[in-house]
Amino acid sequence: MDDTAVARHKTALYRYDYSRPIRLALEADLITKATTVFDYGCGRGDDVKRLRRHGIDCNGWDPVHEPEKPLVPAQVVNLGYVVNVIEDEVERADVLGKAWALAERLLIVSALVEGDGETEHLTPFKDGFLTAANTFQKYFQQSELRDWIGEILEASPVPASPGVYYVFRHEEDRQSFLASRYRRAGAVPRERRSDVLFRQHRRLFQALMDFYASRGRLPVPQEYPQARSLKENVGSIQRAFSIVRKVTDASQWDSIAAERKEDLLLYVALVRFDGRPKFSDLPFVMQQDVKAHLSNYKKACEVADQFLLSLGNQDAIDQACRESPIGKLTPNALYVHLSALPQLSVLLRAYEGCARGYIGVVEDANIIKLHRGQPKISYLEYPEFDTDPHPALARSLSVNLQTFKVKRRRYDGSNNPPILHRKEAFVPDGHPGREVWAALTLEEEALGLYEDTSTIGTRIGWESAKAANRSKPPRTS
Protein backbone atom coordinates (compact mmCIF):
# COMPACT_ATOMS: atom_id res chain seq x y z
CA MET A 1 0.00 0.00 0.00
CA ASP A 2 1.47 3.40 -0.95
CA ASP A 3 1.29 6.77 0.80
CA THR A 4 -1.56 8.00 -1.43
CA ALA A 5 -3.92 5.73 0.51
CA VAL A 6 -3.49 7.84 3.65
CA ALA A 7 -6.42 10.23 4.13
CA ARG A 8 -5.09 12.80 6.58
CA HIS A 9 -8.04 15.13 6.02
CA LYS A 10 -10.29 12.68 7.86
CA THR A 11 -8.38 12.92 11.14
CA ALA A 12 -9.72 16.34 12.23
CA LEU A 13 -12.35 15.99 14.97
CA TYR A 14 -15.28 18.15 16.02
CA ARG A 15 -14.71 19.22 19.61
CA TYR A 16 -17.29 20.29 22.16
CA ASP A 17 -14.75 21.35 24.75
CA TYR A 18 -11.09 22.29 24.86
CA SER A 19 -8.71 19.66 23.55
CA ARG A 20 -6.76 17.89 26.28
CA PRO A 21 -3.41 19.69 25.69
CA ILE A 22 -5.05 23.12 25.73
CA ARG A 23 -7.06 22.29 28.84
CA LEU A 24 -3.92 21.13 30.66
CA ALA A 25 -2.08 24.33 29.73
CA LEU A 26 -5.01 26.44 30.95
CA GLU A 27 -5.14 24.57 34.25
CA ALA A 28 -1.39 25.09 34.69
CA ASP A 29 -1.72 28.85 33.96
CA LEU A 30 0.60 28.45 30.97
CA ILE A 31 -2.16 29.97 28.84
CA THR A 32 -3.84 33.09 30.25
CA LYS A 33 -5.52 36.19 28.86
CA ALA A 34 -2.06 37.75 28.71
CA THR A 35 -0.75 34.94 26.49
CA THR A 36 -0.68 34.78 22.70
CA VAL A 37 -1.43 31.32 21.30
CA PHE A 38 -1.02 29.70 17.89
CA ASP A 39 -2.59 26.33 17.07
CA TYR A 40 -0.40 24.60 14.46
CA GLY A 41 -2.58 22.03 12.72
CA CYS A 42 -5.76 23.41 14.27
CA GLY A 43 -8.12 21.12 12.34
CA ARG A 44 -11.55 22.69 12.29
CA GLY A 45 -10.40 25.44 14.66
CA ASP A 46 -12.52 24.59 17.69
CA ASP A 47 -9.76 25.40 20.20
CA VAL A 48 -9.03 28.68 18.42
CA LYS A 49 -12.68 29.77 18.54
CA ARG A 50 -13.11 28.76 22.16
CA LEU A 51 -9.95 30.53 23.34
CA ARG A 52 -10.99 33.69 21.51
CA ARG A 53 -14.42 33.60 23.16
CA HIS A 54 -12.62 33.62 26.49
CA GLY A 55 -10.56 36.68 25.60
CA ILE A 56 -7.33 34.95 24.63
CA ASP A 57 -5.41 36.10 21.57
CA CYS A 58 -5.28 32.93 19.46
CA ASN A 59 -4.70 32.12 15.80
CA GLY A 60 -4.43 28.86 13.93
CA TRP A 61 -3.41 27.15 10.71
CA ASP A 62 -4.25 23.81 9.20
CA PRO A 63 -3.09 22.37 5.83
CA VAL A 64 -6.61 21.09 5.06
CA HIS A 65 -9.15 23.26 6.86
CA GLU A 66 -7.32 26.60 7.26
CA PRO A 67 -4.55 26.59 4.61
CA GLU A 68 -4.91 30.30 3.78
CA LYS A 69 -4.17 31.46 7.33
CA PRO A 70 -0.63 32.77 7.98
CA LEU A 71 1.88 31.01 10.21
CA VAL A 72 2.56 33.56 12.96
CA PRO A 73 4.81 33.40 16.04
CA ALA A 74 3.15 33.24 19.46
CA GLN A 75 4.21 32.85 23.05
CA VAL A 76 2.54 29.43 23.17
CA VAL A 77 2.27 27.13 20.15
CA ASN A 78 0.11 24.02 20.29
CA LEU A 79 0.97 21.03 18.09
CA GLY A 80 -1.97 18.91 19.14
CA TYR A 81 -2.20 15.31 17.92
CA VAL A 82 -0.58 16.20 14.62
CA VAL A 83 2.66 14.21 14.55
CA ASN A 84 0.87 10.91 15.17
CA VAL A 85 -1.16 11.21 11.93
CA ILE A 86 1.85 11.91 9.68
CA GLU A 87 3.10 8.67 8.12
CA ASP A 88 6.33 10.11 6.68
CA GLU A 89 9.06 10.28 9.35
CA VAL A 90 10.96 13.10 7.64
CA GLU A 91 7.86 15.23 7.27
CA ARG A 92 6.88 14.46 10.85
CA ALA A 93 10.18 15.84 12.12
CA ASP A 94 9.92 18.84 9.78
CA VAL A 95 6.49 19.76 11.17
CA LEU A 96 7.81 19.56 14.72
CA GLY A 97 10.68 21.88 13.80
CA LYS A 98 8.38 24.40 12.08
CA ALA A 99 6.06 24.54 15.09
CA TRP A 100 9.05 25.04 17.41
CA ALA A 101 10.31 27.91 15.26
CA LEU A 102 7.05 29.78 15.96
CA ALA A 103 7.08 29.22 19.72
CA GLU A 104 8.42 32.23 21.59
CA ARG A 105 8.13 30.68 25.06
CA LEU A 106 6.41 27.29 24.96
CA LEU A 107 5.62 24.50 22.50
CA ILE A 108 2.98 21.95 23.49
CA VAL A 109 3.41 18.63 21.68
CA SER A 110 0.83 15.88 22.05
CA ALA A 111 0.45 12.50 20.38
CA LEU A 112 -1.35 9.24 20.94
CA VAL A 113 0.59 6.80 23.10
CA GLU A 114 0.32 3.09 23.59
CA GLY A 115 -2.94 2.29 25.35
CA ASP A 116 -4.86 5.19 23.79
CA GLY A 117 -6.47 2.90 21.25
CA GLU A 118 -6.93 -0.70 20.20
CA THR A 119 -4.64 -1.81 17.37
CA GLU A 120 -5.65 -5.46 16.92
CA HIS A 121 -7.94 -4.68 13.99
CA LEU A 122 -5.70 -2.08 12.35
CA THR A 123 -3.36 -2.66 9.42
CA PRO A 124 0.36 -2.25 10.21
CA PHE A 125 1.86 0.48 8.01
CA LYS A 126 5.37 1.92 8.28
CA ASP A 127 5.92 2.68 12.00
CA GLY A 128 2.19 2.84 12.77
CA PHE A 129 -1.17 1.62 11.52
CA LEU A 130 -3.83 2.36 8.93
CA THR A 131 -7.41 2.59 10.12
CA ALA A 132 -10.53 1.45 8.25
CA ALA A 133 -10.93 5.05 7.07
CA ASN A 134 -7.39 4.97 5.61
CA THR A 135 -6.06 7.41 8.18
CA PHE A 136 -2.64 6.85 9.71
CA GLN A 137 -2.02 6.56 13.43
CA LYS A 138 1.24 6.10 15.23
CA TYR A 139 1.05 5.13 18.89
CA PHE A 140 4.23 6.31 20.59
CA GLN A 141 5.72 4.90 23.72
CA GLN A 142 5.96 7.61 26.36
CA SER A 143 9.76 7.52 26.40
CA GLU A 144 9.89 7.29 22.60
CA LEU A 145 7.90 10.51 22.23
CA ARG A 146 10.07 12.30 24.79
CA ASP A 147 13.32 11.16 23.17
CA TRP A 148 12.11 12.01 19.66
CA ILE A 149 11.08 15.54 20.64
CA GLY A 150 14.36 16.08 22.51
CA GLU A 151 16.48 14.81 19.63
CA ILE A 152 14.75 16.87 16.93
CA LEU A 153 14.55 20.11 18.91
CA GLU A 154 17.72 19.66 20.97
CA ALA A 155 15.73 20.58 24.06
CA SER A 156 14.50 18.81 27.19
CA PRO A 157 10.73 18.23 27.03
CA VAL A 158 8.76 18.17 30.28
CA PRO A 159 5.92 15.63 30.58
CA ALA A 160 2.58 17.28 31.25
CA SER A 161 0.49 14.10 31.04
CA PRO A 162 0.72 10.79 29.16
CA GLY A 163 1.29 11.75 25.52
CA VAL A 164 1.61 15.50 26.24
CA TYR A 165 4.94 17.32 26.55
CA TYR A 166 5.96 20.93 27.16
CA VAL A 167 9.08 22.32 25.49
CA PHE A 168 10.14 25.63 27.02
CA ARG A 169 12.18 28.14 25.04
CA HIS A 170 13.82 29.60 28.15
CA GLU A 171 15.40 27.57 30.92
CA GLU A 172 14.00 29.93 33.57
CA ASP A 173 10.44 29.16 32.47
CA ARG A 174 11.14 25.44 32.48
CA GLN A 175 12.54 25.50 36.01
CA SER A 176 9.67 27.67 37.28
CA PHE A 177 7.17 25.14 35.95
CA LEU A 178 9.05 22.16 37.40
CA ALA A 179 9.30 23.82 40.80
CA SER A 180 5.58 24.66 40.80
CA ARG A 181 4.77 20.94 40.71
CA TYR A 182 6.26 20.42 44.16
CA ARG A 183 5.15 23.66 45.84
CA ARG A 184 2.12 23.13 47.99
CA ALA A 185 -0.60 25.74 48.20
CA GLY A 186 -0.23 27.92 51.29
CA ALA A 187 -3.03 29.49 53.27
CA VAL A 188 -2.41 32.86 54.91
CA PRO A 189 -2.82 32.63 58.71
CA ARG A 190 -5.75 34.64 60.00
CA GLU A 191 -5.39 37.78 62.07
CA ARG A 192 -5.50 36.88 65.76
CA ARG A 193 -5.71 40.27 67.47
CA SER A 194 -5.96 43.88 66.38
CA ASP A 195 -3.12 46.31 65.88
CA VAL A 196 -3.55 49.94 64.87
CA LEU A 197 -0.68 50.03 62.37
CA PHE A 198 -1.75 46.72 60.88
CA ARG A 199 -5.32 47.92 60.33
CA GLN A 200 -4.18 51.25 58.89
CA HIS A 201 -2.06 49.60 56.22
CA ARG A 202 -3.88 46.33 55.76
CA ARG A 203 -3.24 46.14 52.00
CA LEU A 204 0.51 46.48 52.43
CA PHE A 205 0.59 43.85 55.15
CA GLN A 206 -1.67 41.53 53.15
CA ALA A 207 0.68 41.67 50.16
CA LEU A 208 3.60 40.76 52.44
CA MET A 209 1.61 37.90 53.99
CA ASP A 210 0.66 36.57 50.58
CA PHE A 211 4.28 36.60 49.44
CA TYR A 212 5.48 34.77 52.57
CA ALA A 213 2.69 32.19 52.28
CA SER A 214 3.82 31.47 48.71
CA ARG A 215 7.61 31.44 49.20
CA GLY A 216 8.12 30.82 52.93
CA ARG A 217 10.52 33.77 53.22
CA LEU A 218 10.63 37.55 53.17
CA PRO A 219 11.08 39.25 49.81
CA VAL A 220 14.08 41.28 48.73
CA PRO A 221 13.24 44.78 47.48
CA GLN A 222 14.00 43.92 43.81
CA GLU A 223 11.17 41.36 43.67
CA TYR A 224 8.64 43.25 45.78
CA PRO A 225 6.82 46.22 44.17
CA GLN A 226 5.37 47.32 47.51
CA ALA A 227 8.80 47.58 49.19
CA ARG A 228 9.07 51.36 48.92
CA SER A 229 5.54 52.04 50.15
CA LEU A 230 6.01 49.57 52.99
CA LYS A 231 9.24 51.27 54.07
CA GLU A 232 7.64 54.72 54.02
CA ASN A 233 4.55 53.74 56.01
CA VAL A 234 5.72 50.93 58.29
CA GLY A 235 9.49 50.71 58.20
CA SER A 236 11.60 47.84 56.98
CA ILE A 237 10.23 44.59 55.57
CA GLN A 238 11.57 42.84 58.66
CA ARG A 239 9.70 45.21 60.99
CA ALA A 240 6.52 44.77 59.01
CA PHE A 241 6.75 41.02 59.29
CA SER A 242 7.39 41.22 63.04
CA ILE A 243 4.05 43.05 63.28
CA VAL A 244 2.41 40.34 61.17
CA ARG A 245 3.71 37.69 63.57
CA LYS A 246 2.24 39.60 66.52
CA VAL A 247 -1.26 39.91 65.08
CA THR A 248 -1.41 36.34 63.76
CA ASP A 249 -0.30 32.95 65.03
CA ALA A 250 3.50 33.12 64.71
CA SER A 251 3.89 29.34 64.74
CA GLN A 252 1.94 29.06 61.49
CA TRP A 253 4.51 31.19 59.69
CA ASP A 254 7.25 28.89 60.98
CA SER A 255 5.33 25.92 59.59
CA ILE A 256 4.96 27.65 56.22
CA ALA A 257 8.71 28.32 56.06
CA ALA A 258 9.44 24.66 56.87
CA GLU A 259 7.01 23.47 54.19
CA ARG A 260 8.47 25.73 51.50
CA LYS A 261 11.98 24.58 52.38
CA GLU A 262 10.81 20.99 52.01
CA ASP A 263 9.14 21.78 48.67
CA LEU A 264 12.33 23.42 47.41
CA LEU A 265 14.45 20.44 48.48
CA LEU A 266 12.05 18.13 46.66
CA TYR A 267 12.42 20.18 43.46
CA VAL A 268 16.22 20.34 43.64
CA ALA A 269 16.34 16.58 44.18
CA LEU A 270 13.95 15.49 41.43
CA VAL A 271 15.13 17.97 38.81
CA ARG A 272 18.43 16.10 38.72
CA PHE A 273 16.80 13.37 36.61
CA ASP A 274 16.30 15.88 33.78
CA GLY A 275 19.65 17.58 34.26
CA ARG A 276 20.01 19.94 37.20
CA PRO A 277 20.25 23.56 36.02
CA LYS A 278 23.02 25.98 36.86
CA PHE A 279 22.20 28.44 39.61
CA SER A 280 22.29 31.25 37.07
CA ASP A 281 19.58 29.47 35.04
CA LEU A 282 17.12 29.64 37.91
CA PRO A 283 14.57 32.49 37.95
CA PHE A 284 15.60 35.30 40.30
CA VAL A 285 12.81 34.46 42.75
CA MET A 286 14.04 30.86 42.99
CA GLN A 287 17.62 32.02 43.50
CA GLN A 288 16.38 33.95 46.51
CA ASP A 289 14.48 30.86 47.72
CA VAL A 290 17.71 28.85 47.67
CA LYS A 291 19.62 31.51 49.59
CA ALA A 292 16.90 31.87 52.21
CA HIS A 293 16.09 28.21 52.79
CA LEU A 294 19.26 26.29 51.91
CA SER A 295 22.06 28.90 52.25
CA ASN A 296 23.60 28.28 48.84
CA TYR A 297 23.05 26.16 45.74
CA LYS A 298 26.03 23.89 46.31
CA LYS A 299 24.78 22.95 49.75
CA ALA A 300 21.25 22.55 48.38
CA CYS A 301 22.46 20.09 45.75
CA GLU A 302 24.48 18.12 48.29
CA VAL A 303 21.50 17.80 50.64
CA ALA A 304 19.24 16.86 47.72
CA ASP A 305 21.65 14.18 46.51
CA GLN A 306 21.78 12.61 49.95
CA PHE A 307 18.01 12.65 49.97
CA LEU A 308 17.87 10.94 46.55
CA LEU A 309 19.90 8.02 47.87
CA SER A 310 17.07 7.17 50.22
CA LEU A 311 14.68 6.79 47.26
CA GLY A 312 16.66 3.77 46.11
CA ASN A 313 16.17 2.11 49.49
CA GLN A 314 12.94 0.16 49.26
CA ASP A 315 13.12 -0.60 52.98
CA ALA A 316 13.07 3.14 53.70
CA ILE A 317 10.06 3.54 51.40
CA ASP A 318 8.32 0.66 53.16
CA GLN A 319 9.05 2.21 56.56
CA ALA A 320 7.69 5.59 55.44
CA CYS A 321 4.51 3.91 54.17
CA ARG A 322 4.01 2.07 57.45
CA GLU A 323 4.56 5.25 59.47
CA SER A 324 2.34 7.45 57.31
CA PRO A 325 -0.49 8.96 59.40
CA ILE A 326 -2.62 9.22 56.28
CA GLY A 327 -3.63 6.67 53.66
CA LYS A 328 -4.84 3.08 53.64
CA LEU A 329 -2.03 0.63 54.31
CA THR A 330 -2.20 -2.87 52.82
CA PRO A 331 0.45 -5.61 52.87
CA ASN A 332 1.72 -4.45 49.46
CA ALA A 333 1.06 -0.73 49.24
CA LEU A 334 -0.09 2.55 50.71
CA TYR A 335 -3.15 4.04 48.99
CA VAL A 336 -3.88 7.76 49.24
CA HIS A 337 -6.38 10.10 47.68
CA LEU A 338 -4.92 12.78 45.42
CA SER A 339 -5.94 15.44 47.94
CA ALA A 340 -3.76 13.78 50.58
CA LEU A 341 -0.58 13.80 48.51
CA PRO A 342 0.73 17.15 49.89
CA GLN A 343 0.44 15.78 53.43
CA LEU A 344 2.67 12.77 52.85
CA SER A 345 6.23 12.76 54.11
CA VAL A 346 8.78 14.36 51.80
CA LEU A 347 10.23 10.90 51.07
CA LEU A 348 6.90 9.55 49.82
CA ARG A 349 6.19 12.75 47.88
CA ALA A 350 9.54 12.30 46.15
CA TYR A 351 8.76 8.62 45.51
CA GLU A 352 5.55 9.61 43.71
CA GLY A 353 7.32 12.58 42.12
CA CYS A 354 9.70 10.24 40.29
CA ALA A 355 6.74 8.73 38.47
CA ARG A 356 5.06 12.07 37.82
CA GLY A 357 8.33 13.49 36.51
CA TYR A 358 8.34 10.72 33.90
CA ILE A 359 4.68 10.44 32.97
CA GLY A 360 3.24 13.85 33.93
CA VAL A 361 -0.22 14.28 35.41
CA VAL A 362 -2.51 11.27 34.97
CA GLU A 363 -5.85 12.92 34.37
CA ASP A 364 -8.92 11.61 36.20
CA ALA A 365 -6.78 9.46 38.51
CA ASN A 366 -7.83 10.19 42.09
CA ILE A 367 -6.16 7.38 44.07
CA ILE A 368 -2.39 6.90 44.14
CA LYS A 369 -0.96 3.51 45.01
CA LEU A 370 2.57 3.63 46.46
CA HIS A 371 3.93 0.10 46.17
CA ARG A 372 5.95 -1.10 49.16
CA GLY A 373 7.67 -4.20 47.83
CA GLN A 374 8.83 -2.86 44.46
CA PRO A 375 9.68 0.57 43.02
CA LYS A 376 6.35 1.23 41.38
CA ILE A 377 3.61 3.85 41.42
CA SER A 378 0.06 3.24 40.20
CA TYR A 379 -2.55 5.87 39.38
CA LEU A 380 -6.12 4.64 39.82
CA GLU A 381 -9.33 6.17 38.51
CA TYR A 382 -12.51 5.81 40.57
CA PRO A 383 -15.06 8.03 38.76
CA GLU A 384 -17.68 7.72 41.52
CA PHE A 385 -15.33 8.12 44.48
CA ASP A 386 -17.21 11.07 45.97
CA THR A 387 -20.71 9.71 45.45
CA ASP A 388 -20.56 5.90 45.67
CA PRO A 389 -19.94 4.38 49.14
CA HIS A 390 -17.94 1.62 47.43
CA PRO A 391 -16.72 3.00 44.10
CA ALA A 392 -15.45 0.72 41.34
CA LEU A 393 -12.06 1.03 39.67
CA ALA A 394 -12.35 2.13 36.03
CA ARG A 395 -8.73 2.45 34.85
CA SER A 396 -5.21 2.14 36.16
CA LEU A 397 -1.82 3.29 34.95
CA SER A 398 1.35 1.96 36.56
CA VAL A 399 4.94 3.15 36.22
CA ASN A 400 7.84 0.89 37.15
CA LEU A 401 10.58 3.18 38.46
CA GLN A 402 13.37 0.80 37.47
CA THR A 403 12.36 -0.11 33.92
CA PHE A 404 10.06 2.93 33.40
CA LYS A 405 7.62 0.68 31.61
CA VAL A 406 4.08 2.04 31.63
CA LYS A 407 1.21 -0.41 32.00
CA ARG A 408 -2.45 0.51 31.49
CA ARG A 409 -5.48 -1.53 32.39
CA ARG A 410 -9.22 -0.95 32.00
CA TYR A 411 -11.90 -2.26 34.32
CA ASP A 412 -14.89 -0.18 33.22
CA GLY A 413 -16.13 -3.02 31.00
CA SER A 414 -15.84 -5.63 33.73
CA ASN A 415 -18.81 -7.00 35.67
CA ASN A 416 -16.53 -7.64 38.64
CA PRO A 417 -14.18 -4.67 39.07
CA PRO A 418 -12.20 -3.97 42.25
CA ILE A 419 -14.04 -1.69 44.69
CA LEU A 420 -13.03 0.39 47.70
CA HIS A 421 -13.94 0.19 51.38
CA ARG A 422 -13.08 2.44 54.32
CA LYS A 423 -12.92 5.53 52.11
CA GLU A 424 -12.17 7.78 55.06
CA ALA A 425 -8.68 6.23 55.28
CA PHE A 426 -7.67 7.58 51.86
CA VAL A 427 -8.43 11.26 52.47
CA PRO A 428 -6.99 13.95 54.78
CA ASP A 429 -8.72 15.47 57.79
CA GLY A 430 -11.14 18.13 56.66
CA HIS A 431 -12.25 16.30 53.53
CA PRO A 432 -16.01 16.96 53.22
CA GLY A 433 -16.98 13.28 53.08
CA ARG A 434 -14.63 11.90 55.70
CA GLU A 435 -16.96 11.85 58.71
CA VAL A 436 -19.84 10.29 56.78
CA TRP A 437 -17.61 7.58 55.34
CA ALA A 438 -16.11 6.82 58.77
CA ALA A 439 -19.62 6.38 60.20
CA LEU A 440 -20.51 4.01 57.35
CA THR A 441 -17.41 1.93 58.07
CA LEU A 442 -18.42 1.56 61.71
CA GLU A 443 -21.88 0.37 60.65
CA GLU A 444 -20.45 -2.17 58.21
CA GLU A 445 -17.97 -3.43 60.79
CA ALA A 446 -20.79 -3.88 63.29
CA LEU A 447 -22.68 -5.96 60.72
CA GLY A 448 -19.66 -8.22 60.27
CA LEU A 449 -19.21 -7.36 56.61
CA TYR A 450 -15.42 -7.03 56.96
CA GLU A 451 -14.85 -10.39 58.60
CA ASP A 452 -13.49 -11.98 55.40
CA THR A 453 -11.47 -9.30 53.66
CA SER A 454 -10.16 -11.76 51.07
CA THR A 455 -13.48 -11.78 49.20
CA ILE A 456 -14.97 -8.30 49.51
CA GLY A 457 -12.44 -6.46 47.35
CA THR A 458 -14.48 -6.96 44.18
CA ARG A 459 -18.06 -6.04 43.36
CA ILE A 460 -19.33 -9.64 43.19
CA GLY A 461 -17.54 -10.61 46.39
CA TRP A 462 -18.96 -7.59 48.20
CA GLU A 463 -22.50 -8.27 47.02
CA SER A 464 -22.14 -11.89 48.11
CA ALA A 465 -20.98 -10.78 51.55
CA LYS A 466 -23.98 -8.46 51.91
CA ALA A 467 -26.37 -11.18 50.73
CA ALA A 468 -24.90 -13.63 53.23
CA ASN A 469 -25.25 -11.07 55.99
CA ARG A 470 -28.91 -10.48 55.15
CA SER A 471 -29.59 -14.22 55.36
CA LYS A 472 -28.18 -14.46 58.89
CA PRO A 473 -30.73 -14.87 61.65
CA PRO A 474 -31.20 -11.73 63.75
CA ARG A 475 -29.07 -11.45 66.86
CA THR A 476 -30.74 -12.07 70.18
CA SER A 477 -29.68 -10.54 73.44
pLDDT of residue 382: 97
The pLDDT tens digits for 185-230 are: 777 787 655 477 888 888 999 999 999 999 999 999 999 999 999 8
- Angle of helix 297-311 versus helix 346-359 axis, rounded to 10: 90
* d(C-alpha 83, C-alpha 95), whole Å: 8
What sign for the dihedral angle of Cα 82, 86, 91, 92?
positive
- pLDDT, averaged across the chain: 91
Q: Between vectors from CA 260 to CA 190 and to CA 312, what angle results, nearest 5°?
A: 140
Dihedral angle, C-alpha 322, 328, 332, 333, nearest 10 °: -80
- The mean pLDDT of 169-184, rounded to a whole number, is 92
Lowest-confidence region among 21-35, 233-247, 461-475: 461-475
pLDDT of residue 197: 83
pLDDT of residue 49: 95
pLDDT of residue 120: 82
The pLDDT tens digits for 426-469 are: 999 999 999 999 999 999 999 999 988 888 999 999 999 999 88
pLDDT of residue 8: 58
Domains assigned to the chain: 3-169 (3.40.50.150), 171-311 (no CATH), 314-477 (no CATH)
For residue 163, pLDDT beyond 50: yes
The pLDDT tens digits for 236-284 are: 899 999 999 999 989 999 999 999 999 999 999 999 988 899 999 999 9
pLDDT of residue 456: 93
* d(C-alpha 262, C-alpha 265), whole Å: 5
For residue 15, pLDDT beyond 50: yes
Question: Which residues are registered as beta bridge partners of 113?
Answer: 140
